[in-house]
Amino acid sequence: MRLALTLTLTAFSLLSSAALAQTPTAPAVPAAAATPAAPAFTQAALPYAFGALEPIVDEATMRIHFERHHGAQVAGLNAAIVATPAYAGKSLEALLATASTAPAAIRNNAGGHWNHSFYWKIMAPLGTGGAPSPELAAAINRDFGSLDAFKTQFRATSMGRFGSGWSWLIIKPDGKLAVGSTPNQDNPLMDVGDFRGKPILGNDVWEHAYYLKYQNKRADYVDAWWSVINWNHVSKLYAEAVKQ
């Protein structure tokens, strides 16, 4: 005990001497903050209850889709960034913009996280989603002829996606609206493919989005889905996009 105390005191006096020997010419710089950990991506809460889109999207599908499918993509994205630190600290949008050169785990999970976060918000319980704003309605009429003609094209695009993917309504760089589809978890914000622009509406046509209720009948899901569109939110996205 005495030895330990002596050693401690000796060490202390040595340190003090060393400190006194220094003649700082500049104010002491605070110790550098610890390097922040890579920002973990997190899943925002659903803007409604799991059963809120019944009977169009059933509660079990919503729960599994949100908790397991989307949840796994958020966890997978965080794990992929830990595995490839060059991607740490980038925003989700930045990851999408460079997806063509990213590892598959980054591309797929970043896409999945963005796509699902978007998808939850462009839906709303029956009777609450409103209608396209006059500005959006005018743009739809200008570029598709009518709302019904747009829906017909969107439906055909959704049905034409072989396997898994998404169908989208985007604003192209030239300001025009366009409908198209992307495979897997790709989206029009990625630097891949030639269908690029700012999405304002998108439907998940992976079987996991509809199979429990609609089984193989994707067309029934796509047709029913219009009644839970949050046109108020889609109109807001349109207004924001054309303002930029």
Residues lying near Mn ion in the complex (CB under 5 A): 69, 204, 206
Closer Cβ to Mn ion, 69 or 196, answer by number: 69
* Complete DSSP assignment for 31-58: PPPPPPPPPPP-PPPPSS-TTTTTTTS-
What's the min distance (Å) between Cβ of 112 and Mn ion?
7
Structure tokens at 134: 């006059």
What's the min distance (Å) between Cβ of 167 and Mn ion?
13
Closer Cβ to Mn ion, 218 or 238, answer by number: 218
- CA distance from start to end of the chain: 72
What's the min distance (Å) between Cβ of 86 and Mn ion?
27
Angle at 203 between CA 216 and CA 118, to 5 degrees: 140
Closer Cβ to Mn ion, 224 or 242, answer by number: 224
What's the min distance (Å) between Cβ of 190 and Mn ion?
17
Closer Cβ to Mn ion, 118 or 231, answer by number: 118
What's the min distance (Å) between Cβ of 69 and Mn ion?
5
Residue of minimal Cβ distance to Mn ion:
204
Closer Cβ to Mn ion, 51 or 130, answer by number: 51
What's the min distance (Å) between Cβ of 142 and Mn ion?
31
Closer Cβ to Mn ion, 186 or 204, answer by number: 204
